[in-house]
Structure 1
Amino acid sequence: MFIMFTFYGCAKLSKTPKNTLVVPIEAMPTTLDPRFATDAYSQWLTSLIFDSLVRVNKNLEPEGEAASSIQMLDEKTYLFSLHPDLVFHNGKRVTAEDVVWSYSNYVDPQVASPFAAAFKKIRTINALDKDTIKITLDQPFAPFLVDLSLLKILPKEAGSPPNPSFSKAPIGTGPFKTVLLSQSSAELERVDKSGDRIERVNFILVQDANTRFLKLKQREVDLLQNTLDLHLIPEVKKDDNLVFVSEPGITYQYLIFNFRDPILKNIKVRHAIAHAINREMIIRFLLSNAATEATSLLSPQNKYFRSGLRHYSYDLVKAKKLLDEAGLKDPDGDGPLPRFKLEYKTSNSNDATDLAQAIRDQLHSVGIEINVRTYEWGTFYQDLKTGNFQIASGRLVGITDPDIYFDIFSSSRFAPEGRNRGYYSNKELDDLLERGRVTTLFEKRRPIYDKVQEIVANEVPYLSLWYLNNVAAYRKGISGYEMYPNGSYRFLINIHK
């Protein structure tokens, strides 16, 4: 690695254009049509091109975006006023009717947007005048405003059924518009070019982490955000031409247990596994300290986060004792025979494979034999969605509202239709989750999710591992960079070069 860096350091340096920020990404967005933007890069880029009535801010709370004001008339009725100067990129003024049409389009069966289910609670949506929208729900629904952030304001050119060309040349209302989308790059141009902010952003596909870093050193790209190989952090810090930033994020790493497995449904086994994993060591050596241990799906940045939840310290003696109590005694003491065997499924990415091997080695210390099975992402995700695993690893990105607990742990949400992929069931938890959805006042809602987090931490349907930091490296001379907890690219709105 040192020789490679030295060679490139002697080469002639190229330089990115003055008014363009070049950002390498691991994968291209699959679409720029927000109705179908389910992957992370599609969501991040469409959020620059389109506005919603509401967005989630840095404090993980909903606030107006296209809406200049939001009024909650009662627990089921909301009134939104549009910014009067809001226009589409083609120059057409945005009206309340455009918002109503956008909603109708998202839920149109001919469109078949995967986000349609997020708006099922809406009973009526009406344009009261050119700037005012009234939305009535069929019942109180606390996550409504967060869910509404998924509804981007569309022009009728989006089509129903969808206009195929719209995904590559979308017309939005956001701060950037599309110049080019190809298999290897996506170029966006700022709509308002006043001031000295960058005028264009060019996202280029660079799949290899070492190549991304070398391009940054060579000034072929300007900024890496959450695409830096964590083992290269020391190299970044040594380079006087680079700025390094690491801040707590909300990406949650976990292990999921399948409760239909006769061994894993035993709570003492799950507790034993929790005590047998040395999170601190993995964070230090695999993640270069760019993570913090987790006890909840919600990060400490979330106002619903409960501190003081049960923490499973690294304790091999306790882990072995729990396995003995579960009736899974070691058959030959310190000999080679395991207490039992489990299959661990994960994706074949380098970081996922490294984590699986570390956990395999640690569980071996208490007599659990782990067979690691790695798959390309699509195959692994299909097994995860259908509950076809014993143990699997995963990440949850962008958690904002505690209603995520309903999606993942309610017994009404079993896989494959729902996201309760481990088939966990708890009647007390189900009742709390239903109450949490319809309780809109924070003061009454928070105690509900305090208890929810306590139950999940104690019963371990997911074993909380850590929250990944957001990590960025960029060239000196760039100013205005601001990191968002969810890793979004909204910092591009105010960045200078």
Structure 2
Amino acid sequence: MQQGTSAFGFFCAMVTLLLASTSAGCKGLRDGARASGERPVEMLVSTDPETLDPRYATDAVAMRTTRLIHAGLVRLDEQTLAPKPYLARTWTWLDPLTLRIELAPGLRFHSGAKLTANDVVATLRAFGSKEVGSRHARVVEAIGAVTAESEFVVVVHLARPHATLLTDLELPILRASEAGSAPRPDGTLDGLGPFTVARRGPGEIVLQPFDGGPLPAPKHAVVLRTVHDENARALRMHADRADLVVNGFSPTLLPALEKANGVVVSGREGANLTYMLARNGDGPLADVRVRRALSMAIDRDGIARSLLAGHAQSASTLLPPSHWAHSPAEAWPFDPARARIALAEAGYPHLRLTLLTSTDRLRGTIARVLAQELADVGVELTVVPLELGALLARLSAGDFELATLQLPELTEPNVLRVFLHSSSIPPNGANRARIRDSEVDRLLDEGEATANPDARRVLYAALERRVRDEALLLPLWHEDQIAVASARASAFRPSAEGRWLGLASLP
């Protein structure tokens, strides 16, 4: 732990020195920006989105960007994460399997085309179509049929009870003539969101305000600029050449950033989960005693306090404490002595494993600290940093032993189905750990089919206990959503799931 903490201390000291040494030069940049008049709000992101086509977007930057360009029938409340009207004006359950939706009047796509029920019908069908091959097809698989009752009324008929339909209808609605089209990664699909794509180039996406969708027209254009290096992001913020970074800085760097002129740091508990993934099925990790030992060897609280600077809560369950379905549960304790005993009883007093992680600086430091902690119980851990695409490819192929990942938007507990259910083993989903547990499958199936929230909470509490007892996934912590903003973007507040729709309401 001391090695990782001292590395971060050195990193923060160097960035603080750089910020101080560039102060005089940055003043000229700030004055020049003001003299040139209004400029777009510039938001820095650490990676390029894979695609701007919402049918295929899965990485965090792509998901959050597409939700600025497109809009769904519902959106999630930034506080409670409960679904609320967006393109829909209202909805009514006619019976447990039938939902009638009235569209808000007067809404238009970026092209000027009027939103009608036919667009909704075509979009929901396209998301479920094998020909389109959307990566979100599972979201609509419970829909048996969708029909247009009138120009502005849609009726959704479920094939089976499905408790999460309203949350699922956050899917972006596309124009009917484009819903089944070939992939459009450049962002040219007609949208209904508060921004249109004016230009996309290497490392840059320029978004222009749009007036005609469900939200008032934003007051500012937005530039999403990819800056891979954390130091470079910090210097751009200090120079007043950027306005906003969400979850783009190591928490231990935040005090130095707060000293920059006009920079505001705000945060809130996040609806996310950072976890360790262990490949089930063969080798030492097939033994539950080994997986439990790994969990007991990790000092979650220590890492949350030091490397995450207190901007995280150690995880005892998969669902964060603020989630409506969260049920308190006892975590596996930090107990290296018990971990060593468990490994010896399993026949692995000395063990060599490989841990995959991302190339992000903070994630790499955390991985090295995890390696040090596991070494203390007899596990020699080789850390392999990979770019996101290569990392996910190896995980999907089963070419790994351990990995650290984050579930960035844990909004609906049914999303756990994609990561835990045996029917979701790649290529059919993201059950990369290859979990095959009949009790987990049963609880997930019942949770999806049960409408009553109290009954669902009981089912998910049982699911959490099962995952904990079998150490199927190892929850680590829930990280805060942190926004670092310039004075002109200081009104921005991150939502619980980390979305960026607050850009549309900046004064």
TM-score normalized with structure 1 length: 0.91
Instruction: Please state how far the C-alpha of 1:477 moved relative to its aligned partner.
Output: 4.3
Match of 1:188 among 197, 207, 226: 207
Residue 232 of structure 1: how far off its partner (Å): 1.7
The 3 A distance-change label for structure 1 pair 124 and 50 is same
Q: Does 1:7 align with 2:21?
A: yes
Contact preservation (8 Å) 2:483, 2:493: no
Instruction: Give the corresponding residue for 2:301.
Output: 280
Matched letter for residue 250 of structure 1 = A
Match of 2:133 among 109, 112, 123: 112
Contact 2:53 2:183 in 1 (8 A): no
Q: Partner residue of 1:169? A: 188
CA RMSD of superposed structures (Å):
2.3
Alignment-mate amino acid for residue 407 of structure 1: V
Match of 2:43 in 1: 23
Indicate the SS of the match to 2:480.
Answer: strand
User: Could you say which residue in structure 2 is the equivalent of 1:299?
Assistant: 320
**Structure 1's 475 and 412: CA in aligned 2 closer, same or farther, altered over 3 A?**
closer
CA distance in 2: counterparts of 1:415 and 1:462, whole angstroms? 16
**Take 1:119 and 1:197, find their aligned partners in 2: how far apart are those partners?**
31
Q: Do the aligned partners of residues 67 and 195 (structure 1) sit closer, same or farther apart at CA in structure 2, a change above 3 Å counting? A: closer
Q: CA deviation at 1:263?
A: 1.9
Q: Give the 3-state SS of the residue equivalent to 2:280 in structure 1.
A: coil
Are the counterparts in 1 of residues 210 and 217 from structure 2 also a CA contact under 8 Å? no
Distance of 1:163 and 1:421 partners within structure 2: 26
**Residue correspondences, number:** 484
Percent of matched pairs sharing the same residue: 28
Tell me the distance in 1 between the aligned counterparts of 2:74 and 2:446.
Answer: 24
For residues 296-339 of structure 1, give each alpha carbon's deviation from its aligned partner in whole angstroms, at most 9, with x where no partner exists: 221112100111x121222222222322333444xxxxxxxxx2
CA distance in 2, matches of 1:437, 1:493: 33
Structure 1 distance, partners of 2:216, 2:106, is 19
Q: 1:372–1:33: structure 2 CA closer, same or farther, 3 Å change rule?
A: closer
CA contact (8 A) 2:494 2:502 kept: yes
Superposed CA deviations along residues 257-301 of structure 1, whole A, max 9, x for unmatched, are: 122233222222222221211112222232222211012221112
Which residue number corresponds to residue 505 of structure 2?
494
1:51, 1:376 → 2: CA distance? 30
**Pair 1:253-2:274 in alignment:** yes
Instruction: Tell me, yes or no, if structure 1 residue 482 matches structure 2 residue 493.
Output: yes
Distance 2:316 2:353 in 1: 24
SS of the residue corresponding to residue 403 of structure 1 reads helix
Query: Normalized against structure 2, the TM-score is what?
Result: 0.89
Which residue of the partner structure matches residue 391 of structure 1? Answer: 402
SS in 2 for 1:158: coil
Distance in 2 between residues matched to 1:373 and 1:195, nearest whole Å: 46
**Which residue of the other structure, out of 279, 290, 303, is the alignment partner of 1:269?**
290
CA contact (8 A) 2:217 2:504 kept: no
1:31 corresponds to which letter in structure 2? T
1:428-462 Cα offsets, whole Å, 9 max, x none, are 22222221111112122221111111111222111
Displacement of 1:88 in angstroms is 1.4
For 2:422 and 2:178, locate their aligned partners in 1 and report how far apart those are by CA, in whole Å: 37
The structural deviation recorded for 1:233 is 0.9
Q: Distance in 2 between matches of 1:215 and 1:468?
A: 24
> In the alignment, which residue of structure 2 is the partner of 1:333?
none
Question: What is aligned with 1:353?
Answer: 364
Partner of 1:336: none
Deviations 1:215-234 (A, max 9, x none): 11111111111112333212
Candidates 248, 273, 291, aligned match of 1:227: 248
Task: Choose the corresponding residue for 1:417, options 424, 428, 432.
Answer: 428
Q: CA deviation at 1:235?
A: 0.5
Q: Contact 2:139–2:168 (CA<8 Å) still a contact in 1?
A: yes
In structure 1, distance between residues paired with 2:127 and 2:149:
21
**Equivalent position amino acid for 2:22 in 1:** Y
Specify which of 197, 215, 220 is matched with residue 199 of structure 1. Answer: 220
392-401 or 313-322: bigger deviation: 313-322
